[in-house]
């Protein structure tokens, strides 16, 4: 079973659902530190796994660097609450500009050095996850796999890339892993919004903000793909109004199984977010490798 970590800013009702049901959650140290300290870590009844990402990419887009030593100190203080922690990785070049080959090489070297440094300073070295990025020389992935103490790695830098690019990247990475001396290393997929790809690869875990972004745009997940309930999309192919009557009936019945009505989801962003979380957790928890999550996908 794949651990599906729900990422994105907290919504009280969604957090209550995730905590009570024991779903996996990802928060950013850079973005959500106050929430983690003041809310999440003050509760003793949370059953789900917590992945803390350093937020280095978001910091980079703002021209800021995450202080690796402060991050390490914070992780050591709160390690009892944390299942996994993303390393402070280095992002090449400047935000908005295409990075050079030399910048990517330097960033990859920096990420590896940061990973080793964090492992040496953490009370629990197994918390930290090394990240290999799309666009980096595969020699860095091969080098990481030579380290038998490397129990968990992450594949990142794919957000915004086409499904074809992602698939090629994952194929190459998993092929290298399989042929390495560390073939059983666990793999996490950062920003894995391409659910059609998920059953095709042996990820131990993934994270995604798709539940909240989809809801905010007036959409929901379904066995027929993403369906729009928004008035602005009523003439679009993905609109619920565009679908054949029999398919709309199936979707409405499935919505009811998760405790909602079509009208509630049409009117409430929070209900859509809650529904998406329930739906995605159910789908991912029941899929098998090489299956298509959305057999009836229309779009």
**Each residue's pLDDT tens digit, 199-243:** 899 999 999 999 999 999 999 999 999 999 988 887 788 899 889
DSSP 97-109: SPPPHHHHHHHHH
- Reported as a pLDDT band with limits 50, 70 and 90, residue 15 is very high
Cα angle 27-29-32, degrees, rounded to a multiple of 5: 60
pLDDT of 297 over the 70 cut: no
CA–centroid distance for 234 within its chain: 30
Element (H, E) at 272: helix 269-286
DSSP 138-182: HHHHHHHHT-TT--EEEEE--TTS-HHHHHHHHHHHHHHHHHSS-
Closest CA to 36 of 68, 69, 79: 79
Question: Please, what is the average pLDDT of the chain?
Answer: 92
pLDDT of 136 over the 70 cut: yes
Catalogue the long-range contacts made by 15-18 (C-beta closer than 8 Å, 24 or more residues apart).
15/39, 17/274, 17/277, 17/278, 18/48, 18/277
Measure the CA–CA gap between 71 and 220, rounded to whole angstroms. Answer: 36
Strand locations in 150-286 (E): 152-156, 186-189, 205-208, 219-222, 225-228
Closest CA to 38 of 10, 1, 61: 10
**In which residue are the tokens 């993934």 written?**
206
Please name the residues in contact with 115: beta carbons below 8 A apart, sequence gap of 6 or more: 87, 89, 128, 130, 131, 144
- The pLDDT assigned to 202 comes to 93
Measure the CA–CA gap between 128 and 76, rounded to whole angstroms. Answer: 11
pTM, entire model: 0.92
- The pLDDT assigned to 281 comes to 94
Instruction: Report the length, in residues, of the chain.
Output: 299
**Each residue's pLDDT tens digit, 48-59:** 999 999 999 999
Stretch among 113-117, 270-274, 287-291 having the lowest mean pLDDT: 287-291
pLDDT of 131 over the 80 cut: yes
DSSP annotation of 239 reads B
- For residue 216, give the 3-state DSSP assignment: helix
Q: What are the phi and psi torsion angles at 219 (to 5°)?
A: -115, 160
């Amino acid at each position: 079973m794949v651990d599906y970590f729900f990422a994105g800013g907290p919504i009280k009702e969604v957090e209550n659902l995730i905590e009570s049901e024991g779903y996996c959650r990802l928060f950013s140290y850079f973005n959500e530190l106050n929430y983690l300290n003041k809310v999440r870590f003050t509760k003793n009844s949370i059953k789900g796994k917590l992945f803390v990402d350093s937020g280095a990419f978001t910091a980079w887009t703002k021209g800021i660097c995450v202080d690796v030593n402060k991050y390490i100190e914070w992780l050591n203080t709160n390690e009892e609450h944390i299942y996994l922690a993303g390393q402070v990785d280095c992002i090449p070049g400047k935000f908005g500009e295409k990075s050079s080959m030399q910048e990517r090489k330097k960033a990859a070297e920096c990420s590896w050095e940061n990973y080793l440094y964090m492992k040496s300073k953490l009370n629990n070295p197994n918390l930290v996850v090394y990240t290999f990025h799309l666009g980096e020389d595969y020699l860095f992935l091969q080098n990481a796999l030579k380290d038998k103490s490397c129990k968990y790695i992450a594949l990142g830098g794919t957000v915004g890339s086409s499904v074809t690019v992602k698939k090629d990247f994952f194929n190459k990475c998993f092929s290298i892993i399989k042929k390495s001396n560390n073939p059983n290393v666990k793999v996490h997929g950062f920003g894995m919004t391409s659910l059609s790809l998920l059953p095709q690869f042996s990820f131990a875990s993934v994270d995604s903000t798709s539940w909240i972004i989809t809801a905010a745009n007036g959409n929901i997940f379904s066995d027929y793909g993403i369906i729009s309930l928004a008035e602005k999309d009523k003439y679009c192919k993905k609109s619920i109004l565009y679908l054949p009557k029999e398919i709309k009936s199936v979707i409405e019945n499935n919505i009811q199984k998760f405790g909602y009505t079509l009208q509630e989801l049409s009117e409430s962003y929070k209900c859509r977010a809650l529904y998406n979380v329930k739906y995605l957790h159910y789908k991912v928890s029941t899929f098998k490798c090489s299956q298509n999550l959305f057999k009836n996908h229309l779009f």
